[in-house]
Amino acid sequence: MTMTITRCEPFQEFATLQHRMNRLFGDIYLRDEDVNGRASWAPPVDIYETDAHDLVIKAELPDMSREDIDVTVENNTLTLRGERKLPTDVKEEQFRRVERHYGTFNRSFTLPNTVDASKVTAEYRHGVLTVRLPFKEEAKPRTVSVEVAA
């Protein structure tokens, strides 16, 4: 008689529920579209706006090479995808505990119409992917001088 060992993740349902609630009540401005659990893991991200009126998305992707990361912008959607592989210098039977996530990931974010998709840049450094999304010139605030009528 053989027994199959399955990995139990009791908090996965809670994480999925929390993600759906965040989408329901969250900011529609930059929405994360990966709610179906398609990927085996999802890198954490920070999203913020700079004083120069660019959106910045920073994703934690430690122990990955630049070639393992794909960034695309299409139809007002930014997609980050890639794969983090198990270290090749350690055999699987040598592991005593594995808490970090490995495998493929895929995160998509709906971008506001104010982003200039033709000027998006990405940089990977020290395990952090930084994607800069500049606003279109017409979306940036501008100062208008007011003339005083005599």
Of 81, 45, 85, which is closest to residue 63 (Cα–Cα)? 85
Instruction: Average the pLDDT over 62-73 and give the result.
Output: 94
If one looks up domain 30-139 in CATH, what number appears? Answer: 2.60.40.790
Instruction: Reply yes or no on whether the pLDDT at 15 is more than 90.
Output: no
Give yes or no for a contact between 143 and 64, defined as CB atoms under 8 angstroms apart. no
Report the chain's terminal Cα–Cα distance, integer Å.
98
Instruction: Average the pLDDT over 13-19 and give the result.
Output: 67
Q: What is the pLDDT of residues 19-51, one digit of tens each?
A: 666 655 554 444 554 444 444 789 999 999 998
- Look up residue 141 and give its amino acid: P
Share of the chain above pLDDT 70, in %: 70
Provide the whole-model pTM: 0.67
Specify whether the backbone of 90 is left (phi greater than 0), alpha (psi in -120 to 50) or beta: beta
Averaged pLDDT score across all residues of the chain: 81
Cβ of 112: how many Cβ atoms within 10 Å?
A: 14
Q: What Rg, from alpha-carbon coordinates, does the chain have?
A: 20
